[in-house]
Amino acid sequence: MCGIVAGLAQRDISKILIEGLHRLEYRGYDSAGVAVIDPAGELRRARAVGKVRALEDELREAPLSGAIGVAHTRWATHGRPAQHNAHPHLSSERVAVVHNGIIENHEALRGELEGAGYVFTSETDTEVVAHLVDRELCSGLALPEAVNAVTARLDGAFALAVMEQRNPELLVGARQGSPLVVGVGIDEHFIASDPLALLPVTDRFIYLDEGDMVAITPAGIQVLERTGDRDELTPVTREVVRYEHSVEAAGKGEYRHFMMKEIMEQPRVLSRTLAERLDPQGVRLEAFDVSRHSFLAASAGNESGAEGGKQGVDVARLTQLFADVRQVQIIACGTSYHAGMVARYWLEEVAGIPAQVEVASEFRYRERVAAPGTLFLTLSQSGETADTLAALRDIQKLNREGPQAGHYLASLAICNVAGSSLVRESDLSLLTHAGPEIGVASTKAFTTQLVALMLTTLALRQAKGDGQTDDLLSRQLLMRLKDLPHVIEQSLALDGEIAQLAEKFMHRHHTLFLGRGSQYPIAMEGALKLKEISYIHAEAYAAGELKHGPLALIDEDMPVVAVAPMDDLMEKLKSNLQEVRARGGQLFVFADPEVSLKAGEGVHVVTVPGVCRFLAPIVYAVPLQLLSYHVAVLKGTDVDQPRNLAKSVTVE
């Protein structure tokens, strides 16, 4: 998705902006651009299609410098990837704008502006913003007021950074629906879509609230809240939060790709996600954070001791809330949705609570009925996924309309980014401490989500247990959870064997993935990983479904990957695998040591470390990640930034 980086400094900003763009590359983009106001007071711009490297080549030919600038990586929505569509967009050589999001009413606004004599040079929705700001400036408004007047007319989601040639000491940002943070430096301040862009220059950030604007001058940072029907701007104080990860955490280290680094980090980040969240009695409810305005806050109104706009949870109130949960509605997209699908098995079997899972883009557009006592649980690595956020906002709107509209008990976000919109807008959150995930294909974020979901499942079981002292299943699961990082370590040791196996996939065009029970979502996740980074068509089926259609696809050219842990469905899965083999299908089975499956003609068996059946989905996800990684490397694709994809999907 588009990335914004902008700043006002006491030195040349252009190198900081280009470094920031490199750090935003992981989000996915097709062109990049930068504009500065140079020491002579001229607005100068450079744009290039392709990687940030192409922009750098252009800048080597025609360097630009200045103390204020805006820069952008574009992921095309309106208008093909082309230099004239790349941001920044200018109006009258006076205004420069970069934008993330979609302006839904851009066609009507474009017609109006063309009628007023503005000439458009791109097919983008963004260009209307530049011309609208210019028009407001011409009418006598100052830049912050002009941007405010313009944003009041925009429908859709956006984050903006705007500067004006006549005023090289003022940078304005606005956020509505798309993420934007302010980087707080010493005598220099910045705006970006993501803190990662600014880590070389600061580790202190202000996470803007929905609807906030910010004005940056040499005198400092002023966050502005829109009040009084949005046309007044009132200064407001927002907390400055220290970023918890180091610059190195966002680097590749010794690895060739971020994806491999992130796969290998899993034992450590799973330990971190578990750390201090378990005690001998079970899951510590203090692990759950509450947002500033949550009814579950330890003492409403007291914001001290809060990290990132968070404060302590009222444990008694949370215990009661969890005890009241009668159903869980899980909402997520992509890989996070697969984590939710695994959790449904856990919630129903371990906590005895019915659960439903749905992709956010479907949930938000249908009429729904919430059963009484429904906990609304969102899952997201980034916490900025537009569809997931929109689903949360939808149910919050329903809740405000009252119980007759279908009341949800509370919203819980399981998320990897502390200051993200999802975390700040949910009643409750549980952070997955995966650290920055840069590879587009989610790996460590997924397995840490699963751990957080198991913790949530156990917390719900505990709350329903009415002080039951000897809960054998909980005790066993807690013990196994503590051992999990070690088991993951063992499954990472399969890397060499899997790298060899990958050669058998590199010339294939299709692959089937099979699993049963809670491994069915793992098969889905394996198929998603393979298709997104190796571009091999891959489909997952619940193995029992094979005979209802997909069996027709099986022949000697069809590799079939199966996940086979030791569980009650093992024998049934084996029969399904026989059905494949009988039709000449090539089997690649990731199996528990106790599953008696013999390798032989057309049957490849990779033995996965033994693990209890509940935690098996977490362990089996890892070899499938390794498989897709090695196939992609053999095929020579762009592993970390696969074509057409973006890391943080902030548009619908």
**Binding to ligand F6R by residue 334, rule CB under 6 A?**
yes
Which residue type is seen at 391?
A: A
Which of the stretches 80-88, 377-385, 583-591, 615-623 binds ligand F6R when contact is defined by CB under 6 A? 377-385
Give me the least distance between CB of 649 and ligand F6R, in Å please: 5
Catalytic residue status for 138: no
Give me the least distance between CB of 416 and ligand F6R, in Å please: 8
Burial 331-340 (b: 16+ CB within 10 A, else e): bbbbbbbbbb
Which residue type is seen at 169?
A: E
User: Within its chain, how far is the Cα of 328 from the centroid?
Assistant: 21
Strands 374-380, 327-332: pairing is parallel
User: Of 388, 399, 411, 447, which one interacts with ligand F6R (CB under 6 A)?
Assistant: 388
CB 400 within 8 A of CB 366: no
User: Which residue number, 21 or 528, has a Cβ lying nearer to ligand F6R?
Assistant: 528
End-to-end CA distance of the chain: 11
Number of residues this chain uses to bind ligand F6R (CB under 6 A): 14
Distance in angstroms (rounded) separating the CA atoms of residues 522 and 537: 17
Which of the stretches 300-308, 334-342, 475-483, 571-579 binds ligand F6R when contact is defined by CB under 6 A? 334-342
Distance in angstroms (rounded) separating the CA atoms of residues 115 and 458: 62
User: Which residue number, 14 or 380, has a Cβ lying nearer to ligand F6R?
Assistant: 380
Catalytic residue status for 504: no
**Binding to ligand F6R by residue 649, rule CB under 6 A?**
yes
Give me the least distance between CB of 520 and ligand F6R, in Å please: 17
Q: Provide the token pair at 279.
A: 């005690």
CB 602 within 8 A of CB 586: yes
User: Of 382, 399, 447, 518, which one interacts with ligand F6R (CB under 6 A)?
Assistant: 382
Which of the stretches 80-88, 258-266, 379-387, 451-459 binds ligand F6R when contact is defined by CB under 6 A? 379-387
| List 310, 529, 574, 647, catalytic entry | 647
**Binding to ligand F6R by residue 447, rule CB under 6 A?**
no
User: Which residue number, 417 or 498, has a Cβ lying nearer to ligand F6R?
Assistant: 417
470 phi and psi angles, rounded to 5 deg: -110, 85
**Binding to ligand F6R by residue 641, rule CB under 6 A?**
no
Residue of 64, 96, 100 whose CA lies nearest to 171: 96
Site string for ligand F6R, 336-365 (x = CB under 6 A): x-----------------------------
**Binding to ligand F6R by residue 411, rule CB under 6 A?**
no
**Count of Cβ atoms closer than 10 Å to residue 280 Cβ:** 6
**Binding to ligand F6R by residue 524, rule CB under 6 A?**
no
User: Which residue number, 95 or 332, has a Cβ lying nearer to ligand F6R?
Assistant: 332
Q: Provide the token pair at 309.
A: 């706009």
Helices (H), ranges, 427-519: 444-464, 472-492, 495-502
CB 373 within 8 A of CB 325: yes
**Count of Cβ atoms closer than 10 Å to residue 155 Cβ:** 12
**Binding to ligand F6R by residue 178, rule CB under 6 A?**
no
Distance in angstroms (rounded) separating the CA atoms of residues 83 and 32: 8
Give me the least distance between CB of 534 and ligand F6R, in Å please: 13
Catalytic residues: 2, 647
Q: Which residues bind ligand F6R (CB under 6 A)?
A: 333-336, 380-382, 385, 388, 441-442, 528, 532, 649
